[in-house]
Amino acid sequence: MGNAVTRRRLWILLALLVGVALLHLGLARERPGFGAMLAWLFAWTGASEAPDLLDRVTLAQIRTPRMLVAAFGGGSLAVAGTVMQATFRNPLASPDIIGTAAGAAFGAALAIVFGWADQFVGAAPLVAMLGAVLVTGLVFVLAGSHGRFTVANLLLAGIALNTLFGAVTSFVVTLSFDNYTASSRVLFWLMGGLDARTWEHVWITGGGLVLFVALIWPRARELDLLTLRDDSAHSLGVDAQRARRTLVWFACGLTATTVANSGGIAFVGLIVPHLARLMVGPAHRTLLPTAALLGALLMVLSDFVCRVSPPQWNLRLGVVTAIAGAPYFLWLLARQRRGVSL
């Protein structure tokens, strides 16, 4: 695919993302409306009079952080899914495949149930990230033998720890049933959502995206070669074992910083890489930025649906992404059953 076509599609995705972000900021069931949002934006340039204080605070301290966490989180999960699918040579791989998300959920549940999240706003994200790192490290320990591991062992260890920590998290929730506030907060967190996001959450999620994408980007060629057999990658100068271990850690870092701030978000890391490949092909030099923009677009759009839905529905972000992603996932499975390459 020509570079000009690829650049055009990237610009189109960026324009769509900006448009959806403006809708996210300006359209809601309550004030401020779209006009106030535009006045707030133009006031920065001196071309318009700023809206009143309440509208400015709502836009700057409530809606903007929530929208940015959605954009950064969606981009992170999409890039993590792209990396996972390349390193595992599995088109159905996703960021939570080796237990990172389960570890984050366990950490967040502990922080909420034991009241740490009430004492410090960053406690739940911090403990969630620690849980994600712990489980990812355990996966490598269990899958490794004399410093080496196979993709099959990584997947098996990840599935086992996913199940284990999912069960332990459920047990922690049952222990808090006598505390309705804590148990409901854990359950809502597990369903995913971006309520009450602050600029601290923006810095964590955005910082994770910038850091790990900066580390992954120079390894785009390695990702291309990891989609081949390990001996083929080695013959072309890539140590597949070392590259896979490093890249999986980077993908887990992206997953941890996102899940720690948004809860359980399904399917973004699974379906977005496939959509990106349909747009720009399999070369990771163009696939990574395309996936990041698509993931951000999908997450912001999904959170916009949550915000404008009737309040009695209490619609959660993870529910919206699952409803959007499940049909596509079933279509992928149907193609695989017919022997069609994914």
Divide the 342 residues of the chain into consecutive groups of 10 and give the mean pLDDT of each group: 80 95 85 81 72 82 93 95 89 79 86 80 80 87 73 84 89 76 78 86 92 94 86 80 88 87 86 90 92 95 90 85 82 69 56
pLDDT, residue 145, reads 67
Is 263 part of any domain?
Answer: yes
pLDDT, residue 26, reads 86
Angle between the N-to-C axes of helices 64-87 and 268-280, in degrees from 0 to 180, rounded to the nearest 10: 70
pLDDT, residue 100, reads 83
pLDDT, residue 339, reads 61
Is 298 part of any domain?
Answer: yes
Q: The pTM is what?
A: 0.89
CATH number at residue 200: 1.10.3470.10
Is 99 part of any domain?
Answer: yes
Is 342 part of any domain?
Answer: no
pLDDT, residue 336, reads 66
Is 54 part of any domain?
Answer: no
C-beta of residue 51 within 8 angstroms of C-beta of residue 229: no
pLDDT, residue 94, reads 82
Range of the domain at 235: 65-337
Residue type, 14: L
Is 95 part of any domain?
Answer: yes
Is 316 part of any domain?
Answer: yes
Looking at the 3D structure of the chain, how many domains does it have? 1
**Cα-Cα-Cα-Cα dihedral sign, residues 92, 331, 287, 128:** negative
Distance of CA 210 to the CA centre of its chain: 13
Cα–Cα nearest to 302, from 329, 265, 327: 265
pLDDT, residue 2, reads 59
Is 35 part of any domain?
Answer: no
